[in-house]
Amino acid sequence: MVEYRIDRHSGVATYVQIVQQTKQALRLGMLRPGDKLPTAREVVEATAINPNTVLKAYRELERDGLVEARRGVGTFVRRALSTAPADSPLRTELDEWAGRAHAAGLDRDDVSALFTAVLDEHFTDDRDEPGAARTARTARNNPADHTRSTKPTKPTDPINPTEPTDHTGPASGRPHPTTHDKHFQGDPS
């Protein structure tokens, strides 16, 4: 049975953490079709979270077709997500790598950032695209390369930065342009 660990300082909603941890258990083969998830009461006792949070997570998993709730019996896994079993050689290699990273003095956040950066280089939403083609496409379409705008910007009001600065009106000594102002409309006369 899966045991949920809630990180209250992660910035990730609690119900999302439950969904993510359940999906991870499904991917690793720790949960299989027919397995029963812990009851909301069991999760609440183990984690001290609101039972409605657990139910919200289970409803999302049910909408995804991963689990089904059986009234009076519990919530059961409908289908697995596993493509690499927990005892795969890749997991063994990753476990060894994580051990080396820890021995090198990296903390959990450092390892997570490094691993996420590598994942981002190799995976996108196009899961079937080979790594080399994906990397080339990502380099071509990197929005970071196109962040500078050549469009001129209007000065903004320091009090309300979303509004352009208005240098007309009574405070400036210049009349505020109106639709009746011939010069404002571009009338040559």
Joined tokens for residue 152: 């001129």
The 10s digit of each residue's pLDDT in 18-66 is 999 999 999 888 899 999 999 999 999 999 999 999 999 999 999 999 9
Of residues 123 and 155, more confidently modeled: 123
d(CA 110, CA 78): 36
φ/ψ (deg, to 5) at 67: -135, 165
d(CA 142, CA 121): 12
Q: How confident is the model at residue 140 (pLDDT cuts 50, 70, 90)?
A: very low
Ordered DSSP codes for 32-58: -TTPBPPPHHHHHHHH---HHHHHHHH
Domain boundary among 56, 77, 98: 77
Q: Are 15 and 60 in contact (CB under 8 A)?
A: yes
Residue 165 DSSP symbol: P
Give the number of domains in the chain: 2
Residue 56 located in a structural domain:
yes
3-state secondary structure of 92: helix
The 10s digit of each residue's pLDDT in 100-121 is 999 999 999 999 899 889 888 9
d(CA 21, CA 19): 6
Residue whose pair of structure tokens reads 């019996």 in the numeric block:
73
Q: Are 38 and 61 in contact (CB under 8 A)?
A: no
d(CA 113, CA 91): 19
Q: Are 30 and 86 in contact (CB under 8 A)?
A: yes
Sign (positive or negative) of CA dihedral 8, 62, 38, 40: positive
Residues 19 and 54 in one domain: yes
Residues 118 and 69 in one domain: no
The count of other CB atoms within 10 Å of the CB of residue 77 is 21
Query: Does the reported pTM lie above 0.75?
Result: no
The 10s digit of each residue's pLDDT in 8-28 is 999 999 999 999 999 999 988
Residue 26 located in a structural domain:
yes
Domain span at 93? 89-145
Residue 117 located in a structural domain:
yes
Domain boundary among 24, 55, 77: 77
The 10s digit of each residue's pLDDT in 161-185 is 455 544 555 554 555 555 444 444 4
pLDDT at site 1: 78
Residues 94 and 53 in one domain: no
